[in-house]
């Protein structure tokens, strides 16, 4: 029908050219903007979470292919010396009688690198764990002693340090 207004007056439809005019389109409100912003934010968050979930099955840190490293001939380590191999995170010791052993410098609390003091003790700078010269815990939050690492001699006569193989405390390689 022609449409009536509430007070009974006849409503005249707008001609098609005026109905499409910007003058008769209701203005955008702040509510419309906030609604669209919420929808786009939710979609963006979902997309970022989806990308993160897709990356989960892929490891971000790959294990080392070889934990064994040649560190030089035994003659490179003088009797009575302590040598810090920073890149391998280990200390190499040679007794006065020629026995050699290696102690990891990785703290057993949270993996910080413990430094060796002039007294021979090891001290973790992060959380204060203290270890004696043999790597045993003297104090602090560290749950266990520093690891003694395996030393061996390669066929070419060089010392080989294996950072993933622990040996019993007091084990020495006579070289």
Gyration radius of the chain over CA positions: 36
In order of 26, 35, 58, 62, the CA distances from 40 in angstroms are: 23, 9, 28, 36
- Residues with Cβ within 8 Å of residue 57, at least 6 apart in sequence: none
* pLDDT for 1: 46
- Whether residue 88 contacts residue 161, with contact meaning beta carbons closer than 8 Å, is answered with yes
Taking residue 135's Cβ as centre, other Cβ atoms within 10 Å add up to: 21
**DSSP secondary-structure letter at 88?**
G
Taking residue 93's Cβ as centre, other Cβ atoms within 10 Å add up to: 19
Place of tokens 């003091």: 117
* pLDDT for 6: 55
* pLDDT for 2: 47
Burial label, 64 (beta-carbon count in 10 A; 0-12, 13-18, 19+): exposed
pLDDT along the chain (175 residues), means of 10: 53 66 73 92 96 82 73 88 90 88 90 88 89 89 91 91 88 83
* pLDDT for 171: 85
What are the tokens at 103? 């102690």
CA distance 100 to 88: 16
* pLDDT for 174: 84
What is the widest separation between alpha-carbon atoms in the chain?
116
- pTM to 2 decimal places: 0.61
């Amino acid at each position: 029908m022609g449409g009536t207004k509430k007070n009974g007056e006849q409503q005249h439809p707008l001609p098609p050219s005026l109905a499409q005019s910007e003058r008769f389109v209701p203005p955008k409100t702040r509510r419309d903007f906030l609604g669209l912003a919420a929808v786009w934010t939710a979609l963006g968050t979902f997309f970022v979470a989806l990308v993160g979930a897709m990356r989960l099955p892929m490891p971000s840190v790959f294990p080392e292919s070889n934990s064994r490293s040649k560190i030089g001939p035994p003659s490179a380590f003088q009797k009575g010396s302590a040598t810090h191999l920073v890149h391998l995170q280990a200390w190499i010791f040679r007794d006065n009688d020629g026995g050699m052993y290696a102690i990891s410098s990785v703290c057993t609390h949270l993996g910080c690198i413990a430094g060796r003091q002039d007294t021979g003790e090891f001290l973790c700078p992060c959380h204060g764990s203290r270890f004696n010269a043999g790597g045993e815990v003297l104090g602090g939050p560290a749950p266990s002693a520093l690891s003694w690492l395996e030393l061996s001699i390669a066929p070419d006569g060089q010392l080989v340090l294996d950072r993933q193989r622990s040996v019993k405390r007091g084990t020495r390689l006579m070289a």
